Amino acid sequence: MKSAKIHLETLGCPLCMQKIEAAVKKLDGIDKESVEAIYHTSIIKLKFDECKISLGDIEGTINSMGFEVNKMQIT
């Protein structure tokens, strides 16, 4: 498992972060217990299995919901 921080463009409400968090948790290869969306910093922290999913796949899910990823980093 690798850890990552995904920095999002500024969001309009905490509900948006909850929706993104729920969608990311549904993805195969995500450690569901590790997903944490932090509204006041627009960051999502998570752990993922790089053999099952890539950061690009996660970004694609977020983008498909109408949100934009600013930066992603493996921590």
**List of residues 6+ apart from 56 with CB closer than 8 A:** none
Model pLDDT for residues 22-70, shown as the tens digit of each residue: 999 999 999 999 999 998 889 999 999 999 999 999 999 999 999 999 9
pTM of the model: 0.89
Q: What is the mean pLDDT of residues 1-10?
A: 92
| Separation of alpha carbons 10 and 49, rounded Å | 27
Q: Using an 8 Å Cβ cutoff, are 34 and 45 in contact?
A: yes
- What domains, with CATH codes, occur in the chain? 2-74 (3.30.70.100)
Tokens describing residue 29: 């290869």
pLDDT of residue 12: 63
Model pLDDT for residues 63-75, shown as the tens digit of each residue: 999 999 999 999 8
In the sheet with 69-74, reading across from the earlier edge strand, the strands are 36-38, 43-48, 2-8, 69-74
- DSSP label at residue 30: B
Residue 68 C-alpha from the chain's centroid = 11
